Structure 1
Amino acid sequence: MSVVRESDLIGIGKKYQIETEAGDNMVVVIHDDGRRELYRRDDEDNDTQCVMTLSDEESRQIAGILGGLSYKPKALETIEVALDDLRIEWYKIDVSDDWANRSIGDLAVRQKTGASIIAAIREDETVINPGPDYVIATGVTLVIAGKAKNIKLLKEILL
């Protein structure tokens, strides 16, 4: 079983030290600005080196990949059948999006696409399960859930 240790980094964010079942040691630093740094720690000389730095959006995409949201190994196909086709994607609203500053209800997102907006994230504010009155503003990142075809349809409508 893996071991995870969490600690606060005052003025920086949080640090997670992970020891995997395979014996690997990893450190993840989540900065308050959303940036993530991944480090590999070698026990032999206690040397820690940065492997990569990721933006918030890149981190979420990788989390989805690692979590099996876009590909499910054959061995896991029988687990959680109810979530068989479920996808979760993040989509940041750009200034050029014609439908920005319209409400979810005006766009009839769920009725037209079958996909659901399950969260809206803007800087330090997260709205979980925004209702039909929620206005989608420029700069907001939408968390969209649904089957792949429904999310694709929603993106076509939004673009």
Structure 2
Amino acid sequence: MNLKETDLPGIGKKFLIQARSGDKLSIMIHNDGRRELSHFDVHDPDDSVSMVTLDDDEARYVSAIIGGATYKPTAMENIEVALGDLIIEWYKLDSNYKAIGKTIGELKIRQRSGATIITVIEKNHKKHISPGADLMLTSEALVVVLGERLHQQQIRQILLSGK
């Protein structure tokens, strides 16, 4: 996901989001609290397909729904379980993850992110509980990670970039 943030003096702030799916979403937050959400055509990223305007209360309610505060699906590829400040999160290593083919030790995950990989479940369902530094990450594996939110952001970047 790519995110671009733009200040709009006298109006508010605009966020432009390019999702991994290729979808493009614009969220404009007006100084009066209104939010305008625009979805763009995948084949013509300048052509707005739809637009929704929400007041402040509606926007906060929708954000809670999207954020999983009111319902969390059981079959998610990224699942968070809050344990105080700690979060357990699952990362499915799709083909765009550059960490595929590298070992946990090569990536220096714990040293660089502060997070701990607690389990790796390979595509063939083989489980590696408390894996060592020599475990190579494979395509379609689920990597289960324990850490604080900042740690999770850092490990996600390491897994995506392979660096």
**TM-score of the pair, normalised by structure 1:** 0.50
**TM-score of the pair, normalised by structure 2:** 0.48
